Amino acid sequence: MFDRHFAHWPAGLPRKLEIPHVTLWHNLEVSAARYPEKVAYWFYGKPLTYARLKAEAQALAGYLQRGCGVKRGDRVVLYAQNSPQFVIAYYATLRADAVVVPANPMVKTEEFSHYVQDSGGRVAVVMQDLFPYAEPLLGRDLDRCIVGTYAEYIDPGTDLAVPDFVRAPAAVPDRGGVTAWQAALAPGYVPGAHEARENDLACLPYTSGTTGLPKGCLLSHRNLMATAAGGNAWSGITCEVVGLGVLPMFHLTGMQASINGALHAGTTTVLLARWDREAAARLIERHRVTHWTAITTMVVDFLANPKLGDYDLSSLERIGGGGAAMPEALAAKIESVFGLRFVEGYGLTETAAPSHSNPQQRPKRQCAGIPFLNTDARVLDPVTLAELGPNEVGEIVVHGPQVFGGYWNQPKATEAAFVEHDGKCFFRTSASGLRTERSQQNHVAQGHHRQPSSRPPKAP
């Protein structure tokens, strides 16, 4: 195993982390039991407690099962901007033993239909701003849409600049195949016993390469738990953390930072449906935000705010992320403004976000970092597959518990994505079409995917 990086290993962190042998739902169950009245999410001035989050996720899970016929392993498409409903629907799907298919909220009908048709999802949870793009699929590819309204989860008297689509009152159409969000919750259906297991499929995010249609990535509960629990250990995340949730939740970085990792630790997350530098600064000050996972272009915009000096940002303890290499001048400005060093990382949808990250105590500028917890990463010659040494250029390959199970219904692409090396099965990062988490700088969103009928013959 590659071990040169252990010379720079985070102080006090074990070299291996035992991953909990439970599903992601267990994280919410535990945090709700520990901190029932604690705020899990703030959304434009309105709090959502852990107790309410769990209760509504259970009620929606019951409706998915009893009202929509969702069964274990079925796919449920989630088409929404960042919001409490995104989290509730995500965990309701998991509680129903089903699979979350997160759709990029920036796509329209044609692209959205790919998520639906490719995944085979017959039920979708859709927010009303996006419903016009989903409606043409009803009665054809979709049997039912549960339609939510953002305004039901905000404080109407907030002084924050609320986007029009978030403030819009409920206007769910009365037509066949459509159920309003509150109508789905109202019966309070109790879901059946939670039967999913750690190796069951939990999420089917879509990743697009340089050519072809987006491919679905098979991510199990265990894959996502590896970087949720691992990310918390790596960054010292505890229940006292207050995070700023501004990265899109359908994307793995935002999903792990603001949903799965947050609920594992029992943190509080302050959400924005869309990026707004003024609102972000105000929320950091108001809620004493301690941790912010961002992308480089977002930080550039934030620091360019001429009114930035009007806000007290002293609560921030950590800023990190990826999306692009951090320019030297920007890194220096971050240090001068916040007194913090930006912690860069690297990962892909296929690795449930991080495969590499910089140590907290030694973040190196313009560097993707060292192999993550429980991760064996090498650099191979892409043609001969011979292992390369320091300062040699080749292809990064990754072996670890966060590595996905293959591409949904894409056996040839799955076979090409893995290579046997040194007695292990490694994921070839070039298989992603070179579209890694770093590419967020070009589009703060991503999307497109499906699930194979079986896992690859040699699981990583």
β-strands 46-49, 39-43 pairing = antiparallel
Which ranges of 168-303 would DSSP assign to H, the alpha helix?
Answer: 181-185, 221-235, 252-255, 261-265, 277-287, 296-303
Of 441, 176, 412, 424, the C-alpha closest to 325 is 441
Determine which helix (DSSP H) or strand (DSSP E) holds 28, and give its type and residue range: helix 24-34
Of 264, 249, 234, the C-alpha closest to 22 is 264
Helices 296-303 & 328-338 angle (0-180, nearest 10):
60
Name the DSSP letter for residue 333: H
Helices 24-34 & 221-235 angle (0-180, nearest 10):
50
Cα 348 to Cα 385: distance, rounded to the nearest angstrom? 21
Domain boundaries, given as residue ranges, for the chain: 4-441
- Give how far the C-alpha of residue 387 lies from the chain's centroid of Cα atoms, to the nearest Å: 32
Show pLDDT as tens, one digit a residue, over the chain (460 residues): 778 899 889 989 999 999 999 999 999 999 999 999 999 999 999 999 999 999 999 999 999 999 999 999 999 999 999 999 999 999 999 999 999 999 999 999 999 999 999 999 999 999 999 999 999 999 999 999 999 999 999 999 999 999 999 999 999 999 999 999 999 999 999 999 999 999 999 999 999 755 679 999 999 999 999 999 999 999 999 999 999 999 999 999 999 999 999 999 999 999 999 999 999 999 999 999 999 999 999 999 999 999 999 999 999 999 999 877 788 889 899 999 999 999 999 999 999 999 999 998 888 888 889 999 999 999 999 999 999 999 999 999 999 999 999 999 999 999 999 999 999 999 999 987 543 333 333 222 222 233 333 333 333 3
The pLDDT of residue 413 = 95
Q: What are phi and psi of 56, to 5 degrees?
A: -75, -35
- What amino acid is encoded at 436 in this protein? T
Under a CB-based contact definition with an 8 Å cutoff, are residues 234 and 372 in contact? yes
Of 76, 72, 71, the C-alpha closest to 120 is 76
Q: Which two tokens stand for residue 319?
A: 């800023």
Cα 295 to Cα 444: distance, rounded to the nearest angstrom? 8
The pLDDT of residue 69 = 98
The pLDDT of residue 211 = 63
* SS3 call for 334: helix
The pLDDT of residue 210 = 57
Radius of gyration, CA atoms only, the chain: 21
Could you give the C-alpha distances from 102 to 19, 106, 252, 260, 383, in angstroms and in order? 24, 12, 10, 14, 35
CATH code for the domain defined by 4-441:
3.40.50.12780
